[in-house]
Amino acid sequence: MKKYSKDFLLGEKVKIYQPTDGYRASSDAVFLSSLIGYVKKGDAILDVGSGTGAVSLCLAYRFPETPIVGMEIQPELVALANKSATANGFKNLSYIEADISAKKVPLKADSFTHVVTNPPYFENEHPSPKESKSLAHNMNGCSLEQWLQFCLKMLKSNGWLYLIELPQNLSDVLGALKGKAGNIRLISLFSKSGQNAKRILICAQKSSKAPLEILPSFRVHDQNGTFTNGAQSILRNGESFF
């Protein structure tokens, strides 16, 4: 295994191991995890494209009784994520190596109440010379539509899908969800007042016919560059949007 570092999430409440020279989690992962506001007994969560495990590690801290599975194509990141889960004592969390484009995956369809995912933002654009970063940021032969189709396949009827995307990819997301999921909720993330949104948080309910809602935008930084109180409550304390 290549060199890695021990870092922290949620105000040092959660340990995470990450490659020192490769894909590393950002605040996107914590914001994404905060879309899940509550879970019920019997619910299960799947993290598709789990990377170093940042999203599901935050969720395991918040929901210690809920079974959570992370699915990732890179074996080195799977090993590190499982190491992180063990270091935190999260017995409800595990990671598996699997490819969503494979004919068979070691997961049962229609078996998760919540599916959370941070898809690669580009379809083979701006490839990094570092393989780990390239796989994390680029689809590499799998379209966004195929990615989201897999996520919906894993969801139970009326289950919830959560993802974070670039604004320019929103039309593709909505096209992929059309006729398959509704009750869509959009939250735009922007860095400072007066700036355009840099990310879009998306929630969608499988099989729902409810209309789309655009919720209030969320500002991440004050004008001096520090995190807003709202951002700190999520990034440090693990609070949710809902």
Q: Return the pLDDT at 171.
A: 97
**CATH number of the domain enclosing 118:** 3.40.50.150
Answer yes or no: is 241 within a domain.
no
Answer yes or no: is 52 within a domain.
yes
Answer yes or no: is 84 within a domain.
yes
Answer yes or no: is 10 within a domain.
no
Q: Which of 212, 152, 221, 165 is nearest to 193 (CA)?
A: 221
Find out whether 161 and 203 touch, Cβ atoms under 8 Å. Answer: yes
Answer yes or no: is 19 within a domain.
no
Residue 28 tokens, joined: 């996107």
Answer yes or no: is 95 within a domain.
yes
Q: Return the pLDDT at 227.
A: 97
- How many distinct structural domains can be found in the chain? 1
Integer Cα distance of 30 and 51 in angstroms: 13
Write out the residue range of the structural domain in which residue 54 sits.
27-235
Q: Are strands 45-48 and 93-97 parallel, antiparallel or unpaired?
A: unpaired
Answer yes or no: is 149 within a domain.
yes
Find out whether 106 and 98 touch, Cβ atoms under 8 Å. Answer: yes
pLDDT higher for 183 or 134?
183
Tens-place pLDDT, residues 111-155: 999 999 999 998 755 554 545 444 544 466 789 999 999 999 999
Tens-place pLDDT, residues 185-242: 999 999 999 999 999 999 999 999 999 999 999 999 999 999 999 999 999 999 999 9
